[in-house]
Structure 1
Amino acid sequence: MQCISIAVKHKYAHTQRYRKREMKGGLIFLLAFTIIGLGVCQGGELKKHFYKDTCPSAEDIVQNIIWKRVSTNSTLPPKFLRMHFHDCFVRGCDGSVLIDSTANNTAEKAAVPNLSLGGFDVIDEIKTKLEETCPGVVSCADIVALAARDSVSFQFKQPIWEVLTGRRDGIISRASEVLANIPSPLFNFTTLKQFFANKNLTVQDLVVLSGGHTIGVGHCNFFSNRLYNFTGKGDEDPSLNTSYAAFLKTQCKTLSDNTTTVAMDPGSSTSFDNHYFKILTQNEGLFQSDAALLTDNNSTIIVHEMLDSDNFFTEFAQSMKRMGAIEVLTGSSGQIRKKCNEVN
């Protein structure tokens, strides 16, 4: 309650002091203070260099293995970014997406949105090395958060956002909880906004984090309805750039194709940058959820603000920090798994 009241106090003070200011600027300022309040609440006891005394080399170990693997496999950054996103949106950032199913439980990994996740072997490699170095200290949840940051940062040879650590691992992983929590690429803006609000994330976060689609690929079956049967009448999505649609039809030839993949950001699919927002303004967003960002006035404004590269990198860092604090387990909650794919 205390941190929420602090946010409200800042919001009230700002309103009184700057009520004559331009509305847009005021709203952005209010949003910033409100998010700070929520972030502190959600983040619990996360902090910089949580392992500096208990496992000083932890973050270096993660970075070294990730960079080694990414140097020979450029598909890993989007995979780790997506893994972190899917982990945080179901039961919070607790590493539950890593747990294997058992005879008595179907885990998150087995849910449809997670079937195309990858990179679990690298997470296991990192965990093995950390257990050899500092047994029972570093959580799998923190490994996922660091792996997402370090894999994307490889092209810059330096971290591009700060990862607070101190997460603990969850002991529950249920496939049945995934669809109700992870936003679908078929969602419209209203539903996307609600799913993010459910995690105390804002429209700003929704738009900015969608910029992660600048790397990686999408499967045809998640957008081919936009090409062949948008309203159920064998039609094409009128909001989709016609030239881009024609190209996509050469890649995804049927509605039933569930194996072919297409770059989400053509021409920039292995480079992390703000190019996604450029193609979005040209109506070349791959998914319906991408195009949805242009159906709301506020989100459209944010999309255009992200055309400035510095703005995008600054905002992406902040949104990733907020996402990484969703419903975290800290202190004595949860556990530190010995193996990331199973509970102790």
Structure 2
Amino acid sequence: MASSAKSKSSSWLAPLIISCALLACTANGHFLYVGYYDRSCPNAEDIVHFVMASKVATQPAMAPAVLRLFFHDCFINGCDASVLLDSTSHMESDKAAEPNESLAGFDVIDEIKSRLESACPGVVSCADVIALASRDAVSLLGGPAWNVPLGRKDARTANVSAADAYLPSPHANLTELLNKFATHGLDAQDMVALSGAHTVGTARCQNYRARMYGYDGEGNIIDPAFAEARRRTCHAVGGDDAVAPFDEESPLRFDNAYYRDLIARRGLLTSDQALYGCGGPFDNLVRTYSKDGERFARDFATAMVKMGNISPPSDMPVEVRLNCRRINY
């Protein structure tokens, strides 16, 4: 096991080892399992962790950026690194989809892949690079670590229409969110736990403006002072492109503050606040995570493994790309 996945203390803020309940699962007909590269590229996880640690040390915002790449990859035709492909004369990239316009972290993935190609050419897929890098992104910000089942292959094509169709909208209500996650085999608890990724990172004003001005169609479940502060952000710093942190308290610390913000009616996006405020099991789970960081850490790690098992279509051509931005030939 790579050092990046070792448990260092009993505190949830230190990496927490989560064993995959299904050590072998299929993705596009390929078996995923922990230790897939133990013989073919034994230093793979260490290489990923070294690059991620170096980048996050100088650019902490790269951690949530890489984590977001994993979500956006897996929700578009499965975890196949299609989100990394550049457009060509024959293919429009997933990057062209509106939900993907603000994605970042591609250069970090490129550097990891370059080092892996030097160490073990043509072995480690770009899809596995994203899965490992997102795990390290979380642990490097103080969150849990987990064993990552590996063996994914890379898509040879993109699907920009799927990006528009399957990625959850920042304006979605609870029913819409449940449907989006259920499409990928993720249940309500997975959805609430995975939404905790918004304990780090930022969003652009164009994605939270409707909530701050009360015309998102979801009522006025918002702290007035919080709404006013975010409206000032939109006015003062670049309009639609003005960014605000999901969690003002600890925007680059992977903790459970996101859920406390929801209870305080300070969720940044409509889709964030949708998880709390209507009573019932969702409110109960948000309250549980807000009080029990270790429970959140365990459930988040388990849900990340489950999301990482989302398979591409069985008939989709795949390969191990040598360059994550383009197919091999």
The two structures have a TM-score, normalised by structure 1, of 0.83
User: Which has the larger displacement, 213-222 or 301-310?
Assistant: 301-310
Q: Tell me the secondary structure at the aligned position of residue 203 of structure 2.
A: strand
The yes-or-no answer on 1:320 pairing with 2:304 is yes
The yes-or-no answer on 1:163 pairing with 2:148 is yes
Runs ≥4 in structure 1, deviation > 4 angstroms?
39-44
The yes-or-no answer on 1:337 pairing with 2:321 is yes
- 1:177 corresponds, among 146, 162, 183, to 162
Q: CA deviation at 1:98?
A: 0.3
Q: CA deviation at 1:161?
A: 2.0
- 2:85 corresponds, among 77, 99, 110, to 99
The yes-or-no answer on 1:285 pairing with 2:291 is no
Contact 1:216/1:270 (<8 A) preserved? yes
Q: Tell me the secondary structure at the aligned position of residue 224 of structure 1.
A: helix
Contact 2:84/2:325 (<8 A) preserved? yes
Q: Tell me the secondary structure at the aligned position of residue 218 of structure 1.
A: strand
Query: Which amino acid letter does the alignment assign opposite residue 269 of structure 1?
Result: P
Contact 2:27/2:310 (<8 A) preserved? yes
Contact 1:189/1:296 (<8 A) preserved? no
Q: Which residue of 2 is the match for residue 303 of structure 1?
A: 286
CA RMSD of aligned residues (A): 2.4
1:91-240 maps to which residues of 2 (within 5 A)?
91-156=77-142, 160-228=145-213, 230=215, 237-240=219-222
1:251-266 maps to which residues of 2 (within 5 A)?
251-253=233-235, 257-266=239-248
Query: Which amino acid letter does the alignment assign opposite residue 82 of structure 1?
Result: R
Q: CA deviation at 1:129?
A: 1.0
The whole-number CA distance in structure 1 between the counterparts of 2:42 and 2:82 is 25
Q: Tell me the secondary structure at the aligned position of residue 250 of structure 1.
A: helix
Mind listing any 5+ residue stretches in structure 1 that lack a counterpart? 1-34
Identity %: 40
Query: Which amino acid letter does the alignment assign opposite residue 214 of structure 1?
Result: T
User: Which has the larger displacement, 134-143 or 175-184?
Assistant: 175-184
Q: Which residue of 1 is the match for residue 12 of structure 2?
A: none
Q: Which residue of 2 is the match for residue 78 of structure 1?
A: 64
Q: Tell me the secondary structure at the aligned position of residue 306 of structure 1.
A: helix
Contact 1:168/1:333 (<8 A) preserved? no
Q: Which residue of 2 is the match for residue 15 of structure 1?
A: none
The whole-number CA distance in structure 2 between the counterparts of 1:206 and 1:324 is 14
Q: Looking at CA atoms only, which structure, 1 or 2, has the larger radius of gyration?
A: 1
1:262-273 maps to which residues of 2 (within 5 A)?
262-273=244-255
CA deviation vs aligned residue, 1:256-289 (integer Å, no higher than 9, x gap): 9221000110121010000100111111100000
Mind listing any 5+ residue stretches in structure 2 that lack a counterpart? 1-19
Contact 1:240/1:284 (<8 A) preserved? yes
Q: CA deviation at 1:40?
A: 4.4
Contact 1:167/1:328 (<8 A) preserved? no
- 2:226 corresponds, among 224, 244, 252, to 244
* Structure 1 pair 231–116 and aligned structure 2 pair: CA distance change class (3 A): closer
The whole-number CA distance in structure 2 between the counterparts of 1:303 and 1:244 is 20
The whole-number CA distance in structure 1 between the counterparts of 2:40 and 2:298 is 31
CA deviation vs aligned residue, 1:217-254 (integer Å, no higher than 9, x gap): 0101111112225168xxx9510111211211221129
Q: Tell me the secondary structure at the aligned position of residue 130 of structure 2.
A: helix
The whole-number CA distance in structure 1 between the counterparts of 2:108 and 2:234 is 31
* Structure 1 pair 159–134 and aligned structure 2 pair: CA distance change class (3 A): farther
* Structure 1 pair 147–288 and aligned structure 2 pair: CA distance change class (3 A): same
Contact 1:189/1:293 (<8 A) preserved? yes
Query: Which amino acid letter does the alignment assign opposite residue 155 of structure 2?
Result: G
Q: Tell me the secondary structure at the aligned position of residue 102 of structure 1.
A: coil
